[in-house]
């Protein structure tokens, strides 16, 4: 009996990438800030106030960065699309030559190249779409990419940031809050790193330890610097 072949590919990579960007920064930056303040102040309320302010600012900054990145990607695609249409109109033979070079790279002979180019050049839109994908390596971006990226990164940062900060809501002293925050953040970093690595096809456990180590090193550095200054 012939078994069916099932291919598994990662979909919504842009969405996952935005979550990774927002969540990784959200877990590490507010945690590092809270850890640093724990060595310099004696009140949890100060840490909570500073942490919330940082999370709000971080959400806005990260979200704005995601929006501008998405808009830049869209504007770049549209600029190159206009250029390709112009080149197809003004220098079609040069464009056909470039198409043949692409097919030649895949091992097609001259006869097959000529046949495919003749067919492709009959439809200008498909011709230009082919050049965008195979000459420039550009896929048409989602029209809502900038907005979605801003929301995803901003919300991910907020969720990631509130996890380490939440420890200071349930403790009375910064030192106790730091211990609980470190425990929560370590667990969250490990789980986040594990699933991020699995989604991206990397060794899951190795990726989990790597993400956890980066976050803890950042927090440890902030704590030591704040204690040294204080």
For residue 8, the model assigns a pLDDT of 46
Handedness of CA 209, 39, 62, 170 (dihedral sign): positive
For residue 94, the model assigns a pLDDT of 85
Contacts 24+ apart (CB under 8 A), 125-128: 127/88, 127/95, 127/99, 128/81, 128/84, 128/85, 128/88
For residue 12, the model assigns a pLDDT of 56
Q: What does the CA dihedral 161, 166, 169, 173 come to, rounded to 10 degrees?
A: -90
Q: What is the mean pLDDT of each run of 10 residues along the chain (230 residues)?
A: 47 73 83 82 89 92 89 87 85 82 81 82 82 81 85 91 90 89 87 79 84 78 69
Question: Ramachandran region of residue 138, left (φ > 0), alpha (ψ -120 to 50) or beta?
Answer: beta
For residue 227, the model assigns a pLDDT of 67
| Cα gap 138→105, rounded to integer Å | 18
| Cα gap 212→10, rounded to integer Å | 24
Please report which helix (H) or strand (E) contains residue 125, including its range: helix 124-134
For residue 112, the model assigns a pLDDT of 83
C-beta of residue 206 within 8 angstroms of C-beta of residue 197: yes
Angle at 216 between CA 212 and CA 220, to 5 degrees: 170
Residues ≥6 apart with Cβ < 8 Å to 140: 77, 132
pTM above 0.85, yes or no: no
Q: Which residues of 140-179 are buried (b: 16+ CB within 10 A; e: fewer)?
A: ebeeebbebbbbbbbbbbbbbbbbbbebbeeeeebeebbe
């Amino acid at each position: 009996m012939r078994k069916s072949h099932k291919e598994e590919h990662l979909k919504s990579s842009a969405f996952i990438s935005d979550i990774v960007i927002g969540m990784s920064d959200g877990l590490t930056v507010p945690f590092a800030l809270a850890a640093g303040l724990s060595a310099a102040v004696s009140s949890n309320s100060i840490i909570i106030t500073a942490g919330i302010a940082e999370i709000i600012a971080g959400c806005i900054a990260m979200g704005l960065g995601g929006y501008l990145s998405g808009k830049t990607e869209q504007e770049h695609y549209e600029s190159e699309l206009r250029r390709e249409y112009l080149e197809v109109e003004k220098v079609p033979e040069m464009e056909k030559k470039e198409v043949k070079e692409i097919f030649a790279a895949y091992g097609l002979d001259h006869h097959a190249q000529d046949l495919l180019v003749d067919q492709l050049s009959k439809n200008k839109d498909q011709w230009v779409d082919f050049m965008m994908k195979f000459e420039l390596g550009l896929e048409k971006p989602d029209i809502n990419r900038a907005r979605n990226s801003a929301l995803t990164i901003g919300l991910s940062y907020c969720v990631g940031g509130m996890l380490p900060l939440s420890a200071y809501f349930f403790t009375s002293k910064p030192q106790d809050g730091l211990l609980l925050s470190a425990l929560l953040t370590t667990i969250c970093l490990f789980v986040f790193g594990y699933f991020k690595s699995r989604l991206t096809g990397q060794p899951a456990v190795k990726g989990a330890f790597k993400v956890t180590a980066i976050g803890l090193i950042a927090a440890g550095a902030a704590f030591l610097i704040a204690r040294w200054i204080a």
